[in-house]
Amino acid sequence: FQDIKEILFLGDILFGFGEFSENNHKLVPSGYVEEWWALELEEALKIEQRSNKELSKFIEDPFNNVPSAKEAINLAKDFAVPLHPKYTDFWGNISVSDLSTLREALTADFDNKTKKINLKNSTTIKDILERAFVPHTVNENCIILDDATTEIYETIFKLNHKEFVDMKNEDNVFNYFSSISPIEIRNKAPYFMGTRMGRPEKSERKSMKGIQSLFPLSDQVGNTRSVQKAIDLGRIKIDICRKKCPNCSSITPFNLCPECGSHTEFQKICLKCNKYYTKNEEKCQQCGGVLNFSKEASFNIKNYSKTILSSLNMSIPDKFKGILGLTNQFKVPEPLMKGILRAKNGLLVYKTAEIRYDATDIPLTHFKPKEISTPVSRLIELGYELDYKANELNNENQILELQVQDVILSDDCAKYFIKIANFIDDELEMFYNLDTFYNITKREDLIGHLAVGLAPHTSAGIVGRIIGFSPARSIYAHPFWHAAKRRNCDGDEDGIMLLLDPLLNFSRYYLPSKIGGRMDATLVISSLLDPNEIDSEAHNIDTLFKYPLEFYKATQEYLMPFELEKKMDLVKSRLGTPAQYENLGFNIPTNDINDGPTTTAYKTYASMEEKINAQLHLAKIIRAVNDKNVAEKILTTHFNPDIMGNLRKFAVQHFRCVKCNEKYRRPPLSNAGKCLKCGGNVILTVNRGGIEKYIPKALKLSRDFNLDAYTIQRMELVKEYVESLTNNPKIKQQKLSNFF
């Protein structure tokens, strides 16, 4: 934005009636908008008992049919309706004195013969025009208004009548207009609000960092978690379950017996007596000790992997990684072959043994075929035979109502799903000895297949059908579908999976045994969506194709939503009827749901410093923003908590071994400070740089924006705290031998 001096206005923001109803918040005044004007024109025609086909286009579609400036003036005079919103400027932003000053300048510089307005360029007049958001151009010493604006101003300011209007005791600009203008001028923006970005959009895979398999490798392989390194060791010691074949009595950690193919059964172990019991036993019969599902044992991973690779006729994939140890209660490992097939297809695994893709939720009720890159013929096959007006579907520009369990993937997600589908086909063929299912070569092949959506704070997924794709980095789906995940689409991100993945690979036995381990797991998958059972916020969605005139009038009186609910046709009034699924209306048309940036600039900057600089630059050039306040917010809500949090972590940190990752509360005094387990070096887990990284920037912000003394002094104190702990000249490095 280096070529932009100042941003005067960021535009309108739409809130549905349902938002106020859900939060039981009084209605706030609506600005004078096209659809309100159309309703008043329609009412005026009814009162005068007149019908006009030429005017009906303005009523039926006020967004695409806009009267000319001359037509707008004539309509206002003939039917006593206010001036059309397109020609109404933001007069509520300026004072009566400003408006009077502007009228004097307009009257003086209006040429009645040429019907032109070339205002003398002055700081005062330009500032008034900017605050009223009046479009204009500056040419040398003149401020030029376009022809439509000139025609409107000639009427509403009575530029041909230069009499003085005394409004000294008036503080409402719209009363000023009523005294000079033959037509009514309404407030285009009676209510402004501030917003901020809660989080940038997200559309990326969800996984354990660099991990393809939930197979344990033990601490012997170190932090690399390399399966190849474990194979090179031959045998590794891992804490793993013990299962016995009821048919041939073979012992294995896996579900199927490698000897006869029978399903194996868990055995419990007494670590004291080394005796084995069935899964249902609780205590050792000999010593009374508690039984475990696992114990550390030597496992020949070299032979195990060799058998798998031989059956697959392939070598071990590059950078193929497992996990150091199992965290589930039963210590059940995932078969290594599944991880190898994931690595082959360039995929990573999540803790549930599924492959997830995370994306921001966006609610959608209607779409056009061209917006989702799906052919009309394919949509007809999927059941979209009629558009939302019940006309036969025959072209890509018709508007269709989204079915409640249909979803639209992001382009990036589609690419990832192709890899997942290929992995599942490999798994079916090579692991389960079954026929392939997906057989996907291009993203269009995904259309019609089923997926599962899951919110990370729940354990119940909902099935959805893929019908198309979008460049937006998000998941478009019906508000009911998002609500079925217990989401309200306020910036949330959720996971999505191809249906066969959780069906084949998820197991409760893989879930961590710690608190919260069963969350973000597909313990339940709902195949059908019942609007009665979803989150109640979706029940407050309004379904009208056109808000009534009473609504706009009610907003001016700050009425409570419940006073209008019966007229707004909320979803909750349709529950239990066929109408709960269909004919949910929209009242604002959209050219293309994919218009606008698909990636926020926030995500394009590499470093935090670049992001903050860009944020502060925007704060400086947006007139509505107090840049000093933004800088203070960055310090108090981001820098300070981060610095103090890291400082506390530094003071109470643990230590770890660089080789085996063993954790210590303090460095071992014995063994020369080396790891007691493997002899490796023991190092800090929180480094000094993590604490200091924001301090210089924070101090610079404090001074550059001339923040209050308290904020500056607080940052200086924080700097002293950090230096006293990390850079104390009185503290010197000592050898352990100095203490003996």
Long-range pairs, 38-43, Cβ under 8 A, ≥24: 38/62, 39/546, 39/548, 39/549, 39/552, 40/81, 40/82, 40/549, 41/75, 41/79, 41/81, 43/549
Q: What angle do CA 184, 188, 190 make, to 5 degrees?
A: 110
pLDDT at residue number 287: 86
**What does the alpha-carbon distance between residue 323 and residue 306 come to, in Å, rounded to a whole number?**
19
Task: Tell me what pLDDT residue 558 has.
Answer: 96
Instruction: In whole angstroms, give the CA distance from residue 621 to residue 7.
Output: 6
Nearest to 632 by CA among 716, 718, 715, 723: 715
Q: What percent of the chain has pLDDT over 90?
A: 60
Cβ atoms of residues 241 and 332 within 8 Å? yes
Q: What does the DSSP 8-state code read for residue 508?
A: G
Among residues 512, 417, 549, the alpha carbon closest in space to that of 81 is found at: 549
SS3 (DSSP) at 174: helix
Residues 247, 257 contacting (CB under 8 angstroms):
yes
**Taking the model in full, what pTM does it have?**
0.88
DSSP string computed for 253-265: SSSB-TTT-PBPE
Look up residue 481 and give its amino acid.
Answer: W
What is residue 164's predicted lDDT score, i.e. its pLDDT? 67
Residue among 132, 122, 73, 74 at smallest CA distance from 99: 132
Please tell me whether residue 623 adopts helix, strand or coil conformation: coil
Class of domain 356-365+402-538: mainly beta
Q: Which amino acid is at 323?
A: I
Of 598 and 558, which is predicted with more confidence? 558
pLDDT recorded at residue 477: 97
| Euclidean distance between CA atoms 38 and 21, whole angstroms | 25
pLDDT(139) > 80? yes
Are 147 and 172 in contact, with CB atoms under 8 Å apart?
A: no
Edge-to-edge strand ranges of the sheet holding 137-139: 110-111, 116-120, 142-144, 137-139
Please, what sign has the CA dihedral across residues 611, 616, 620, 626?
positive
Q: Could you tell me the CA-to-CA distances from 253 to 216, 289, 295, 439, 636 in Å, in that order? A: 12, 23, 11, 32, 52
Helix axes 34-47, 549-556, angle to 10 degrees: 120
End-to-end Cα spacing for the chain: 65
Residue 467 CA to residue 446 CA, distance in Å, equals: 8
Phi, psi of 463 (to 5 degrees): -75, 140
What's the mean per-residue pLDDT of the chain? Answer: 90
Query: For position 130, what pLDDT does the model report?
Result: 96
Domain ranges of the chain: 1-26+541-590, 31-86, 88-180, 219-335, 356-365+402-538, 605-739
Tell me the Cα Rg of the chain. 34
Positive or negative, the CA dihedral 558, 564, 565, 567 is negative
Confidence at 516, pLDDT banded by 50, 70, 90: confident
Q: Is the pLDDT of residue 282 over 80?
A: yes
Strands 276-278 and 265-269: antiparallel
Q: Is the pLDDT of residue 197 over 80?
A: no
Question: Which amino acid, residue 511?
Answer: L
Lowest mean pLDDT segment, chosen from 58-72, 351-365, 399-413, 656-670 = 656-670
Q: Measuring CA to CA, which residue among 252, 510, 265, 474 is closest to residue 372? A: 474
Note the Cα 197 to chain centre separation in Å. Answer: 11
For the ranges 197-201, 357-361, 649-653, which has the lowest average pLDDT? 197-201
**C-alpha span between 154 and 185 (Å, rounded):** 14
Strand ranges in 211-272 using DSSP code E only, listed in sequence order: 235-244, 251-252, 265-269
Cβ-count burial of 282 within 10 angstroms (0-12 exposed, 13-18 middle, 19+ buried)? exposed
Pair 86, 76: CB distance under 8 Å: no
Indicate the helix (H) or strand (E) that contains 412. Answer: helix 411-426
Full DSSP string of 720-738: HHHHHHH--TT-----GGG
Q: List, for residues 295-314, the tens digit of each pLDDT value.
A: 888 999 999 999 999 999 99
Using alpha carbons, select from 11, 185, 181 the residue that is nearest to residue 85.
Answer: 185
Output the CA–CA distances (angstroms, integers) from residue 137 to 10, 101, 117, 121, in the order listed.
19, 19, 11, 10
CA dihedral 66, 68, 70, 73 (to 10 degrees): 20
Q: Which of 161-170, 314-323, 556-565 has the lowest mean pLDDT?
A: 161-170
**Torsion, Cα of 721, 726, 730, 735 (10° steps):** 150
Q: Name the amino acid, one letter, at 63.
A: F
Could you tell me the two tokens for 598? 């698909």
Give the Cα separation of 623 and 10 in Å (integer): 9
Nearest 5 degrees, angle CA 428-CA 431-CA 435?
30
Q: Which residue has the tokens 């019942």?
A: 530
Tokens of 651: 């003071």
Per DSSP, the residues of 135-173 read --EEETTEEE--HHHHHHHHHHTTTT-------TT---H
Sorting pLDDT into bands at 50, 70 and 90, what band is 733?
low
Give φ, ψ of 219 to 5 degrees: -70, -15
679 versus 61: the higher-pLDDT residue is 61
What CA–CA distance (Å, rounded) separates 157 from 146? 16
Rounded distance, CA 143 to CA 463, Å?
59
Whole-number pLDDT of residue 673: 83
Pairing of strands 265-269, 294-300: unpaired
Residue 294's DSSP bridge partners are 241
User: In this model, does residue 734 exceed pLDDT 70?
Assistant: no
- In this prediction, residues 57-66 reach a mean pLDDT of 93
Q: What is the pLDDT of residue 222?
A: 76
pLDDT of residue 144 exceeding 70: yes
**Model confidence over 91-119: pLDDT tens digits?**
999 999 999 999 999 999 998 888 899 99
pLDDT at position 1 over 70: no
